[in-house]
Structure 1
Amino acid sequence: MSLTKVIKQEARALGFVAVGIAPVSDEQEAVGPGDGQPHPVQSPFSRRLYDRLTEWLRQGHHGTMAWLERTPEKRADPRQVLPGCRSIISVGMTYLTDHRANEQPGYGRIARYAWGKDYHKMMSNKLKQLEARISSLVPEAHTRSYVDTGPIMEKAWAERAGLGWIGKHSNLVSSDHGSWLLLGEVLTTLELSVDEPATDLCGSCTLCIQACPTNAIVQPYVVDATRCISYLTIELRGDGSMISPDLQQGMGNKIFGCDDCLDVCPFNLRAEPTHETTFQPSPVTLAPSLDELSRLDEQTFTTLFQQSPIRRAKIHGFQRNIAIAQHNKPRPTSLPS
């Protein structure tokens, strides 16, 4: 069995339902000006990533996420993250469960990925195990793994590795697993057998664009984060005055993240639920009572969401989101006398 097949087999044994290999570049290195040291030549693919990222930043679509402005050339070229990087092992894990959220009045809505425990630690541990296996097979190989935490444009590399394509909502879509894949990657100096890039199968479908309640998908494949409910409820700091009235209205009952553009994707009909315990919901995340959550103090918030991605919003952001959802709660209509 080839090294590439062994690595893929190990990844699947660790619970990753999708795995593919993307080439970083086959171009030679050039000597940098003045220092006589080799520097990687940016490949055409990395150049396209750089141009796409810098244009998105120029438009101000990143809002207050200032860290995205730092070293965009590094984000576009993995060899500036791991010198000598030749391949990226892209993996995906489905987080779809067979549960349904409580949509009755008085309850908030939390994005599916945050129904269970924080996936970063679980997936990172699995990728560390994959790195250890690679090291045992090829001791001289260098690797580095990330789950959302590194300067890697993971969706673009996952698309190049054949895991799926970037849909018009800017998220990855898999023909097998729909929109419900969480991504991770292992950068390696190994030159592995690569997979065919995925083909965009969105066609003329615009369901995700139509479904966005705040019109955050400003054009196909481009999301203005400053209008996206996920950004507004998670990344944006400050009180309710930071969010315009029209965006607050569009948030509806969403108190952490949003799945609207993902829920409507036709490819979700093929997705199978996961049995991974990390993603299984708790009673609070499946049926978050707005009244009960509005009364949380900081200590209770920290205890309740100790192992949850919801911690990222912090107590003040979470309470702000709850207050907006309560304001948006449908008012009972009075019956004619």
Structure 2
Amino acid sequence: MNRSMLSQQIKTEAKRLGFLSCGISKAEFLEEEAPRLEHWLNKNMHGEMGYMENHFDKRLDPRLLVDGAKSVISLLLNYYPENVQIEGTYKVSKYAYGNDYHHVIKSKLRELQEFISAEIGEVNGRAFVDSAPVLDKAWASKSGLGWIGKNSNLLTQQVGSFYFIAELIVDLELVYDTPVTDHCGTCTACIDACPTNAIVEPYVVDGSKCISYFTIELKNEIPSSVKGMLDDWIFGCDVCQDVCPWNRFSKPHQEPLFDPNPKLLSMSKKDWEEITDDVFKIIFKKSAVKRTKLTGLKRNIDFVKNTK
């Protein structure tokens, strides 16, 4: 089978599996990203996320992750919900409404890998879902799936940015897509709206100032310097995506596993403040919110409640 035909078949199968889109780029050293990543780490913008310092070379070269890697197949999976939480309550990032995306996407990637092997024989490759040193957004951008916006998220004209990014890195030569142009223009909506001023300049986010960092990654106490700034977010933050003009094109996902427990959407502030271990386990049984455990969630609720 020729490369062009196989590349198209991979994209068709990705669509069948429910992925929003699929793009392919050549597995090579990410030359432009190297100095940016180094600068970001040197400025300590990763805060206490020490793992970001690990495997610097692997983050920039997929051939160090998969022997003989020739192609990076990037995939997007929509998670934009049909319904959101009630007004005036403590807020959870939309990506965590349903089942943990790692498990949902991993099974789809396995199916795609099996499809490729069934078409041409055994293929050496690995699936990645935000769980290894891979610069997801850089590869998706190289693969023509969107551009990296001023809020450092991947943006796509037709669908915005409420999607997960995943990759298959394989030892197959395929037909490579070309990057799209930047369409942020003069817009600064995300920079202006960020409650903690984490977008320190266009295209640069100081991770150690981000609400998602404070409510998920930070294991110690939330610093008093962000008192009154968390805007009722208790797990993650969607502000820079909610205000992005491109997200007016977001359409609800079609993945039942991303549907939230209905109780989550109707919980009032009082419900959150009185949440028990049993309720937590029911509502977030398979959710990414389990990362913080109930103690972490309560820490976040108490901080937001007591620092208005």
TM-score by length of 1: 0.86
The answer to whether structure 1 residue 208 and structure 2 residue 186 are counterparts is no
Q: Quick check: 2:127–2:168 contact (8 Å CA) kept in 1? A: yes
Q: After TM superposition, give the deviation of residue 314 of structure 1 in Å.
A: 1.8
Partner Cα distance (2:13, 2:133) in 1:
25
Paired position in structure 1 for 2:85: 101
Q: Is residue 74 from structure 1 mapped to residue 58 from structure 2 by the alignment?
A: yes
CA deviation after TM superposition for structure 1 residue 153, in Å? 0.2
1:152 to 113, 116, 134: 134
Question: Counterpart amino acid of 1:14?
Answer: L
SS in 1 for 2:253: coil
Where do residues 125-144 of structure 1 align in structure 2 (5 Å cutoff)? 125-144=107-126
SS at match of 2:229: helix
Distance (Å, rounded) in 2 between the aligned partners of 1:48 and 1:72: 14
C-alpha contact 1:14 1:126 (8 A) present in aligned 2:
yes
Aligned to 1:37: none
Identity fraction in percent? 41
Partner of residue 291 from structure 1, selected from 270, 293, 297: 270
- Check conservation: 1:110, 1:285, Cα contact below 8 A: no
Q: 3-state DSSP class of the match of 2:158? A: coil
- Offset at residue 137 of structure 1 (A): 1.5
Distance 1:275 1:171 in 2: 22
Tell me if structure 2 keeps the 8 A contact 1:218–1:224: yes
1:259 to 235, 238, 241: 238
Ranges in structure 1 where 5+ consecutive residues have no aligned partner: 26-42, 330-337
User: Which protein has the larger Cα radius of gyration, Structure 1 or Structure 2?
Assistant: 1
Q: Cα gap change, 1:249/1:308 in structure 2, threshold over 3 Å: closer, same or farther? A: same
| Equivalence for 1:275 | 254
The superposition leaves residues 147-202 of structure 1 with CA deviations (integer Å, 9 ceiling, x where unpaired) of 11121000000000011111110111111110111111100110100111121111
Q: Which residue of 1 aligns with 2:298?
A: 319
- The TM-score normalised by the length of structure 2 is 0.94
- Structure 2 residue 38 is matched with structure 1 residue 54: yes
Counterpart Cα distance in 2 of 1:263 and 1:202: 15
Which SS does the other structure have where 1:214 is aligned? coil
Following superposition, the deviation at residue 72 of structure 1 comes to 0.6
> Contact 1:165–1:200 (CA<8 Å) still a contact in 2?
yes
Correspondence 1:2 to 2:5: yes
Correspondence for 2:17 among 6, 11, 14: 14
Decide whether the 8 Å contact of 1:108 with 1:290 is kept in 2.
Answer: yes
Q: 1:178-228: CA deviations, max 9, x gaps?
A: 011111110011010011112111111110000100000011111111110
Letter in 1 for 2:139: W
1:231 aligns with 2:213: yes
Q: Decide whether the 8 Å contact of 1:108 with 1:287 is kept in 2.
A: no
* In 1, Cα distance between equivalents of 2:292 and 2:206: 19
Unaligned regions of 5+ residues in structure 2, if any? none
Deviation (angstroms), 1:141: 2.3
CA contact (8 A) 1:214 1:251 kept: yes
Q: How far did 1:83 drift? A: 1.4
1:23 and 2:26 are equivalent in the alignment: yes
**How many correspondences in the alignment?**
305
Mapped contact 2:222–2:303 kept (Cα < 8 A): no
What amino acid does structure 1 have at the position aligned with 2:231? Answer: G
Equivalent-residue separation in structure 2 for 1:287 and 1:313 (angstroms): 21
CA deviations over 1:81-130 (Å, ceiling 9, x no partner): 001111111000111122132122xx201111111121111111000000
Distance 1:302 1:287 in 2: 17
Contact 1:255 1:325 in 2 (8 A): yes
CA distance in 1, matches of 2:227, 2:9: 50
Query: Which residue does the alignment assign to 1:90?
Result: 74
Is the contact between residue 94 and residue 181 of structure 1 (CA under 8 Å) also seen in structure 2?
A: yes
Tell me by how many angstroms 1:295 deviates: 3.1
Partner of 1:335: none
Distance 1:304 1:116 in 2: 9
1:180 aligns with 2:162: yes
Aligned mates of 2:115, 2:254 — CA distance in 1: 24
